[in-house]
Amino acid sequence: MEKKISLYIHIPFCVKKCCYCDFLSFANPSIEEQNAYLEQLCREIEYYREEAKAYRVISVFVGGGTPSLLQEGLVERLFHKLYSVWNMEEGAEITIECNPGTLTARKLAEYRTCGINRLSIGLQSTDKQELECLGRIHNYEQFIANYMLAREAGFRNINVDLMSALPNQTLHSFGKTLAKVLELQPEHLSVYSLTIEEGTVLANSPDLLAALPSEQTERQMYRYANKILSAVGYERYEISNYAKDGYACRHNQVYWTGGEYLGLGLGASSYLRGIRFENTRDMQEYLHPWENGDITVIRKDQVPDTIQSRMEEFMFLGLRMMRGVSKQEFQDRFHISMDEQYGTVIAPYVTQGLLRWQGDRLQLTERGIDVSNTIMADFLLG
Amino acid sequence: MSHIDQKKIRNFCIIAHIDHGKSTLADRIIEKTGLLTSREMQAQVLDNMDLERERGITIKAQAVRTVYQAQDGEEYIFNLIDTPGHVDFNYEVSRSLAACEGAILVVDAAQGVEAQTLANVYLAMDHDLEVMPVINKIDLPSAQPERVINEIEDVIGIEAQDAPLISAKTGINIDQVLEQIVAKIPAPDGDPDAPLQALIFDSIYDPYKGVIIFCRIKNGCVKKGTKIRMMATGAQEEVVEVGIFGAGQFLPCDELSAGMVGYITASLKNVKDTQVGDTVTDAAHPAAEPLAGYKKVNPMVYCGLYPADGAKYPDLRDALEKLQLNDAALQFEPETSVALGFGFRCGFLGLLHLEIIQERLEREYNLDLVTTAPGVVYRVYKNNGEQLELTNPSNLPDPSEIAYMEEPFVAAEIMVAKEYVGPIMQLCQERRGIYISMEYMEETRALLKYELPLNEIIYDFFDVLKSRSRGYASFDYEMKEYRQSKLVKLDILINREEVDALSFIVHADGAYERGRKMCEKLKEEIPRHLFEIPIQAAIGSKVIARETVKAMRKDVLAKCYGGDITRKRKLLEKQKEGKKRMRQIGNVEIPQKAFMSVLKLDNE
- Kindly tell me if the per-residue pLDDT of B204 is higher than 70: yes
- What pLDDT shows up at residue B541? 87
Residue whose C-alpha is closest to residue B563's, from A213, A277, A353, A124: A277
Q: Which chain A residues are closer than 8 Å to B572 by Cβ?
A: 316, 373, 376-377, 380
Amino acid A322: pLDDT: 96
Residue B324 is predicted with a pLDDT of: 81
Q: Does A278 reach chain B within 8 Å, measured CB to CB? A: yes
Q: What percent of chain B has pLDDT over 90?
A: 32
* Tens-digit pLDDT profile for residues A255-276: 999 999 999 999 999 999 999 9
The residue of B528, B529, B530, B561 whose CB has the most chain A CBs within 10 angstroms, and thus the best one to mutate to test that interface, is B530
Average pLDDT over residues A20-39: 92
Q: Identify the pLDDT of residue B85.
A: 55
- The reply to whether A8 touches chain B by the CB within 8 Å rule is yes
pLDDT tens column, B99-112: 899 999 999 998 88
Query: Which domains does chain A possess?
Result: 3-255 (3.20.20.70), 325-377 (no CATH)
pLDDT score of B36: 45
The reported pLDDT for the residue numbered B51 is 43
A194 Cβ under 8 Å from any chain B Cβ: yes
Q: Do B558 and A240 touch (CB under 8 A)?
A: yes
| Subunit contact B575:A194, Cβ cutoff 8 A | no
B46-54: average pLDDT: 45
Stretch A220-232: mean pLDDT: 95
- Say whether residue B586 is in contact with chain A using an 8 A CB cutoff: no
- If one compares B458 and B508, the residue with the highest pLDDT of the two is B508
End-to-end CA gap in chain A: 36
* Whether the predicted pLDDT of A67 surpasses 70: yes
Window from A336-345, A352-361, B146-155 with minimum mean pLDDT: B146-155
| Residues B295 and B237 sit within 8 Å (Cβ to Cβ) | no
Residues 539-568 of B with CB under 8 A from A: 552-560, 562-566, 568
pLDDT in tens, B256-287: 999 999 899 988 877 778 888 889 999 999 99
Q: How many CA atoms lie within 13 A of B82 on its CB side?
A: 29
Average pLDDT over residues B85-93: 64
pLDDT at B59 over 90: no
CA dist., res. B147 & res. B63, Å (int): 32
Q: Is the CB of A380 inside 8 Å of chain B's CB atoms?
A: yes
Residue B161 has pLDDT above 50, yes or no: yes
Distance CA A260, CA A178 (A): 34
Residue A26 contacts residue A77 (beta carbons within 8 Å):
no
Separation of alpha carbons B455 and B474, rounded Å: 19
Question: pLDDT at residue B325 above 80?
Answer: no
Q: Do A255 and B558 touch (CB under 8 A)?
A: no
Task: Give the SS3 label for residue B458.
Answer: coil
pLDDT at B466 over 60: yes
State how far the Cα of B366 lies from the Cα of B378, in Å rounded to an integer.
32
C-beta atoms of A373 and B564 within 8 A: no
Of A61, A195, A376, the CB nearest to B558: A195
Taking an 8 Å cut-off on Cβ atoms, the answer to whether B563 and A352 are in contact is no
Residues from chain B that touch A63, judged by Cβ atoms under 8 A, are: 562
For residue A370, the model assigns a pLDDT of 92
Average pLDDT in chain B: 83
- The reported pLDDT for the residue numbered B47 is 46
Q: How far apart are CA A81 and CA A41, in angstroms?
A: 9
> Cβ–Cβ of B556/A193 closer than 8 Å?
yes
Closest approach of B564 to chain A, Cα-based (Å): 6
Q: What is the mean pLDDT of residues B367-378?
A: 87
Out of A61, A252, A371, the one facing B552 most closely (by C-beta) is A371
Which is nearest to B514 in space by CA: B486, B496, B491?
B491
Q: Which of B91, B28, B165 is nearest to B353 (CA)?
A: B91
Asked if A370's CB is within 8 angstroms of B553's CB, the reply is yes
Instruction: Give the closest of B554, B558, B579 to A192, CB-based.
Output: B558
Our CA-based measurement puts residue B554 at a distance from the nearest CA of chain A, in whole angstroms, of 5
Cβ <8 Å between A372 and B579: no
**pLDDT score of B564:** 80
**Chain A CB within 8 Å of residue B403 CB:** no
Report the residue of chain B nearest A62, measured CA to CA: B562
A370:B558 CB<8 A: no
HEC secondary structure over chain A: CCEEEEEEEEECEECCCCCCCCCCCEECCCHHHHHHHHHHHHHHHHHCHHHHCCEEEEEEEEEECCHHHCCCCHHHHHHHHHHHHCCEEEEEEEEEEECCCCCCHHHHHHHHHHCCCEEEEEEECCCHHHHHHHCCCCCHHHHHHHHHHHHHCCCCCEEEEEEECCCCCCHHHHHHHHHHHHHHCCCEEEEEECCCCCCCCHHHCHHHHHCCCCHHHHHHHHHHHHHHHHHCCCEEEECCEEECCCCCCHHHHHHHCCCCEEEECCCCEEEECCEEEEECCCHHHHHCCCCCCCHHHHEEEEEECCHHHHHHHHHHHHCCECCCEEHHHHHHHHCCCHHHHHHHHHHHHHHCCCEEEECCEEEECHHHHHCHHHHHHCCCCC
Summarize pLDDT for A286-307 with one digit per residue, the tens. 988 666 667 777 888 888 999 9
Q: Establish how many alpha carbons lie within 13 A of residue A125's alpha carbon, considering only the half-sphere containing its beta carbon.
A: 26
What's the mean pLDDT in A121-145?
92
Which chain A residues contact residue B562 at CB under 8 A? 8, 61, 63, 255, 263, 269
CB nearest B576 (choices: A271, A276, A377)? A377
The CA distances from residue A168 to A110, A171, A172, A193, B221, in Å, are: 38, 10, 11, 14, 85
Average pLDDT of the segment spanning B556-560: 73
Q: What residues in A contact B563, CB-CB < 8 Å?
A: 8, 255, 261, 263, 268-271
Q: Which of B564, B566, B572 sits opposite A377 (nearest CB)?
A: B572
The reply to whether A313 touches chain B by the CB within 8 Å rule is yes
Per-residue pLDDT tens for B470-506? 767 777 777 789 999 999 999 999 999 889 888 889 9
What pLDDT does B602 receive?
Answer: 58
CB < 8 Å to A61, chain B: 562
CB-nearest to B559 from A195, A309, A376 is: A195
B571 contact residues in A (CB cutoff 8 A): 373
List chain A residues with CB under 8 Å of B573: 377, 380
Where does residue A231 rank: exposed (0-12), middle (13-18), buried (19+ CB within 10 A)? exposed
Q: What is the pTM of this model?
A: 0.63
Model confidence over B510-533: pLDDT tens digits? 899 889 999 999 999 898 888 899
Q: Show residues of chain A in contact with B559, CB under 8 Å.
A: 190, 192, 195, 240
C-alpha B450/C-alpha B413 separation (Å) is: 7
Report chain A residues whose CB lies below 8 A from the CB of B528: none
Q: Does the pLDDT value for residue B79 go beyond 80?
A: yes
Q: Does A301 touch chain B (CB under 8 A)?
A: yes
Contact B564 A269 (CB under 8 A): yes
pLDDT at position B41 is 46
| Distance of alpha carbon B189 from alpha carbon B194, whole angstroms | 12
